[in-house]
Amino acid sequence: MATVSFSSDCTCTSELFSTARYWERLAPKSLPSPAVILAMKNRTKGAALRVVCCIGLVCAVSCAAIVHANGIIVEINLRAEGPTSWSPRLLGETFVPDPIFVYNNWSSYDELSDNVQLTEHLAMKELDEIIRLRRFGVRFDYYMMDAFWFAQDGGYKTWRKSTWPNGPDHWLTRCNDNGLIPGLWFGTNTLVKIDPVPQWEDSLNRQRRAMSFYEGGFLQGFIDVLQYWYERGIRMFKFDFVDFTAATPKAEETQSRGEIYSRNVDAFRAALKNFRRKNPNVVLVAFNGFGGDIESTANPFPFQHPIDLRWLEVFDSLYSGDPRPSDVPEMNFWRSMDIYSDHMVRRYEQSDVPLERIDSTGFMVGNTGTVYYRKTNAWRGALVLMLARGGWLNTVHGNLEFISDEDARWFAKVQSLYLRLEATGRTKTFGGIPGEVKPYGFGSVDSGGAVYTILNPTESIAEIEMPLLSRLQEPNEEGRVLFRDAGFVPVLTGSKIKLGPGQLAVVGLARYANPEYDLGIQEDVRIPIRIQPLAAKFIPDGKNAIKAELSAPERGDLRIVMQQRGSDGRIRRSSGGAPPNGTTMGKILMLRAWQSGQPLPIEINYDKAIWSGLSWAVGEIKHSAMTTGEAVTIRCSSSEKDSVTLDGHIFAVEY
């Protein structure tokens, strides 16, 4: 008999969750679910909970578990002669010891680039959706309450009365009852929709927009706030919008900008170290302001604002940028967003951040401005790529109600595939840098086989090598395409795969080259089966405009690609502002075409209000709209006030 005891001198709920999953795998019909066990935890106060598991042999192994609960479940002490449960407390790693899945409700609402408020009703609705998706096997471990839950005058200790009249108690209780670990967002030391409380006053900068970490009472007050919420059950803390240049007017008179920055960094890092030491089971995640140049994939590298690797001493993950279009033109707008997240992960990896510690934040579904009203467009490829990148903090943002029951089954299958590889294998990158428009990929390998996730960002059919990821790996032979975009059918030959322009594919090898791992075809991303560049010379046509003339092709549609650069030759992004009042990009980066003096319809899907800006335009003219052999005039222009340079290219594409 193996006895697993839970004693009351620790508070790591995630340990219990992992242990319960272990026994559930052995005896899925005998043991209560992790959520049920966690609910038992929350309904009992006092001594200890003991789980006794009796293990017997029937063919292979079958198990039964007897659960006796009369106390708080908090730490796992193993006293087993047989199989042992997994416990992060037995490991030397002090940060996230295994992949986790986080739900974040940002993009189901948006109070920055849209006018959709966070409310208790919205937050609880999404919690209900988590419970629904779990029934189909989708895994969620944490629920992160994102920005603006707090009252403007409450110093992060009270909730916004207008949208949370009864505070967070119902949400916290429902999370605990359903085995979800709650988390909270903080604007760190900047005043975003929050006023300074008296304790912060002597830390304020001259503009009264941010507080110094090393002067006055702000830092101690802020850590006290974190501890307050820890004692209320919060275990994940998200730090956003940090400003390490903040200093009091007195400090600005005597200290250099570099000294101010360094002293802020040192003070905040030391405080978080102490907070972790006191509360070892917290998960701390870093967002905007902790290094890296995330605005554009065309930024020079190394970063102008380098990543201070000492942050890895306190944070479980560093995020690499909110989803936005890359500077790689794509007919499918959402594919350009995939490339952005891939590119930033590669740049963070090149900055020596381990892949496991990078949160790509690449998966958002929603109908708000922050995610460009994406809803669920091309969501399957976005989910595959988020998991393929190898991060151990996998965050799902947005409106979960948009994911149907059928979608949930597929979602769970993808999670299951990549979770095994993340937890027991290694993920490595290969190929070119995404923003440099070269084919690339992410490969994950374990003792049973490998899965390669490959993307071709070019405007051509391209072949890429899938290299061995380990010297112990068997040669890449007899693979199987598990997932792909619609249209072009990838050609797999040994360790090489040929992909269409802008195409994503997943290849399984060895044990993963099995139909049971098939993920199907992403029908809402269609890749041309043929593409050919056409000889068309663009010439200036007034300020910030170019035009070209060519004969309509005998076969295929015309694809027009325009890229915008500044007068310095570097990529230039334009923005008409955020929704709901922003100007859409189709009115800023414009494509026009005529034949025989009549305008031709151009299909585009970048005509959105894009808060993060866009540097390109892509559109297609259907073959059926043109008269073959007759001249077509194409004009590309930008409404930028400053002088810009436009590059134009035209391709014939067939679907």
**Is 648 part of any domain?**
yes
Measured at the alpha carbon of residue 105, what is the angle toward residues 104 and 110, in degrees to the nearest 5? 125
Clarify whether residues 113 and 232 are in a common domain. yes
CA distance 145 to 185: 6
Clarify whether residues 562 and 502 are in a common domain. no
Clarify whether residues 199 and 214 are in a common domain. yes
Clarify whether residues 360 and 397 are in a common domain. yes
Lowest mean pLDDT among 13-22, 274-283, 485-494, 602-611: 13-22
Domain boundary among 62, 90, 118: 90
The predicted-structure confidence for 577-620, as pLDDT tens digits, reads as follows 999 889 999 999 999 999 999 999 999 999 999 999 999 999 99
CB 395 within 8 A of CB 143: no
CA distance 63 to 30: 7
46 pLDDT more than 60? no
Question: Backbone dihedral region of 2: left (phi > 0), alpha (psi from -120 to 50 degrees) or beta?
Answer: beta
**Is 429 part of any domain?**
no
Average pLDDT over residues 235-258: 98
Q: Which pTM was predicted?
A: 0.87
Clarify whether residues 258 and 146 are in a common domain. yes
Other beta carbons within 10 Å of 47: 11
Look at residue 580 in the predicted model and tell me its pLDDT. Answer: 87
CATH code of 233's domain: 3.20.20.70
Clarify whether residues 152 and 198 are in a common domain. yes
**Is 64 part of any domain?**
yes
341 pLDDT more than 80? yes
Domain boundary among 497, 527, 557: 527
Torsions phi, psi for 64 (to 5 deg): -135, 155
Q: Domain span at residue 25?
A: 2-90
Average pLDDT over residues 91-115: 91
Q: How many domains does the chain have?
A: 4
pLDDT band at 95 (very low <50, low <70, confident <90, very high): confident
17 pLDDT more than 90? no
Clarify whether residues 604 and 475 are in a common domain. no
Domain boundary among 527, 552, 570: 527
Clarify whether residues 638 and 537 are in a common domain. yes
125 pLDDT more than 70? yes
Other beta carbons within 10 Å of 338: 28
Clarify whether residues 229 and 340 are in a common domain. yes
The alpha helices in 232-329, defined as continuous H runs, are 249-254, 257-278
Clarify whether residues 222 and 238 are in a common domain. yes
Block residue for tokens 């903090």: 393
Residue 50: in which H helix or E strand, if any? Answer: strand 49-56
Clarify whether residues 293 and 181 are in a common domain. yes
Look at residue 303 in the predicted model and tell me its pLDDT. Answer: 97
pLDDT band at 87 (very low <50, low <70, confident <90, very high): confident
- Which tokens is 181 given? 């670990």
Question: Cα Rg for the chain, rounded, in angstroms?
Answer: 27
270 pLDDT more than 50? yes
Average pLDDT over residues 189-213: 98
CB 192 within 8 A of CB 243: no
331 pLDDT more than 60? yes
**Is 95 part of any domain?**
no
| Residue scoring higher pLDDT (16 or 187) | 187
pLDDT band at 24 (very low <50, low <70, confident <90, very high): very low
